[in-house]
Structure 1
């Protein structure tokens, strides 16, 4: 397992980040309840296997159910071997308003205390705003709260999780955030517009949704009729499978890692097979220039439609 720099933080992270949402709550295609999830003992075994295989970067959040607590139990006595990233609770009040500085400070610090307790640690390597939309990114009070935590040393680095390209642009322009977690994959490559800008500012990029909740994998079943064009487009990527690329998850992961600005690819892992698939993709060989250009040319023509949150709300997943 090779490591890459998390921007200019001085933190070295594995190219694969273990995504912790699936071990904490029901999430993903075909996962409807806790009955479809790993037991805690099996989740801990999987986390240990990942660490022993060279993955040192683990991503979780206060809102990922039992994920933080399970990671805390798994890494008891091994804290120095892991880089932990977590995210605070959502920051708006019930009316959707952003609290004042005092309210934000109390909310963020309370969420951080909960995370520290659940993870069994006294510091977080990367602490993030869970979803930083345009209004949150423009809020100077929020930035003050997070930069203060970094100054105090409770968190080593601060970052934001975003969805839209304009949010990425604003986060980069701020010049204070150390890392940005963003969606990027074979289908939706729109965030790639800002990769060079982020690298120039020393900002680490953590790519999520690389498998689009399993759609860019061999476990995809028949999609909802409303997604028939998406399903047809997904089939085109199999034309890229050639010598050195044996299956779609490997291709999708190598595509993201072929971009040198990317610090790590976040992969949701809740089965040993998925761990092995992720490890199989990080042998230091990615894509040659010709194959990368072919993959870039196969981006979905309407990336704005690729909104998995909206698909969830509409019952398409």
Structure 2
């Protein structure tokens, strides 16, 4: 497995997003998910992404912990804090206060069954707590050995600069795919600061796989039913655009997923996509994107498709502050 560096942290060039194993994308299967995590590790994919708010009661962290029994030392575990949910799973707010952070890290360590977290992110910016205060408290966790490296998620240039003055930020996690490209405005600053980029939803929440053909493909409890890009005329228009991606894939005898992931991988050696799946078959398919070769003509063609997609939507599903 090829490796990449996020700041001073070395990880597999492709990670695995574990969120959908517990919630948000319809029915789940813990046994299947654990098998998929084991398959990822066998393939050399050692970078696992979770969060304390994935699954009610932190169930995704618990699942990851079960999968890592006996294999923790060979795995890079990233998790997040800051999005607060109640016992019923309702989001009740964002919390970046130091006292909340200290409670959150201890609970994450307990659920995962580990003594340390490799990469610890603030999940969302708390508008009521200065980033300096939050990152200062996060840096104390590094000194205590509970955390190895610090990250931020879903923030823009100004916050990244301010945070990095308090303590080196290793990675910025943000949505990045053919149709979510606002991070490109932050990339120059991130690179100047030597902050790596962790790209979540690199397959456009599944749309760029080419396997979604109608709104009815989403189950009743699938969160994607609520995103505008999957509704009405937007859905139809983007099926047409994805068909162009499929054509490129057919010509190269690969899958649309591999084309989309290869494009993200080619945006820089400091970018690590973390496509999420709970199925071994999809995981193996995604891993082969590392072998895909795209020439300049391919990239221009794909970029033209991407620009059509970006132009058709609201700026993003998550807003980066002060872009």
Q: Could you tell me how far apart the structure 2 residues matched to 1:84 and 1:92 are?
A: 22
Q: Does 1:108 align with 2:101?
A: yes
Q: Does 1:118 align with 2:117?
A: no
Q: Could you tell me how far apart the structure 1 residues matched to 2:187 and 2:253 are?
A: 25
Identify the range of structure 1 (222-231 vs 258-267) with the bigger mean alpha-carbon deviation: 222-231
Cα deviation for residue 62 of structure 1 reads: 0.4
Q: Does 1:149 align with 2:141?
A: yes
Does the 8 A contact of 2:171 with 2:197 survive in 1? yes
**Match 1:292 to one of 287, 290, 299:** 299
Q: Could you tell me how far apart the structure 1 residues matched to 2:238 and 2:246 are?
A: 14
Aligned to 2:290, the other structure's residue is in SS state coil
Q: Could you tell me how far apart the structure 1 residues matched to 2:81 and 2:94 are?
A: 17
The number of equivalent residue pairs is: 290
Q: Which structure 1 segments of 5+ residues have no match?
A: 311-317
Map residues 32-181 of structure 1 onto 2, 5 A cutoff.
36-38=27-29, 40-65=30-55, 66-90=59-83, 104-132=97-125, 135=127, 138-162=130-154, 167-174=155-162, 175=164, 176-181=168-173
Tell me the equivalent position of 1:24: 22
**Which has the larger helix fraction?**
2
Summarize the Cα distance change of 1:193–1:257 in structure 2 as closer, same or farther, 3 Å threshold. same
Tell me the equivalent position of 2:204: 212
Q: Does 1:195 align with 2:187?
A: yes
Aligned to 2:238, the other structure's residue is in SS state helix
Q: Could you tell me how far apart the structure 2 residues matched to 1:105 and 1:301 are?
A: 37
Q: Could you tell me how far apart the structure 2 residues matched to 1:67 and 1:172 are?
A: 27
Aligned to 1:16, the other structure's residue is in SS state coil
Aligned to 1:216, the other structure's residue is in SS state helix
What root-mean-square deviation, in Å, do the aligned CA atoms of Structure 1 and Structure 2 show? Answer: 2.6
Does the 8 A contact of 1:21 with 1:64 survive in 2? yes
What per-residue deviation string (whole Å, max 9, x for no partner) do you get for residues 34-74 of structure 1?
xx211x22222211111011100000000112211111111
Q: Could you tell me how far apart the structure 2 residues matched to 1:272 and 1:98 are?
A: 35
- TM-score, with length taken from structure 2: 0.81
Q: Which structure 2 segments of 5+ residues have no match?
A: 216-230
Cα deviation for residue 238 of structure 1 reads: 2.8
Does the 8 A contact of 2:176 with 2:264 survive in 1? yes
Aligned to 1:241, the other structure's residue is in SS state helix
Does the 8 A contact of 2:181 with 2:310 survive in 1? no
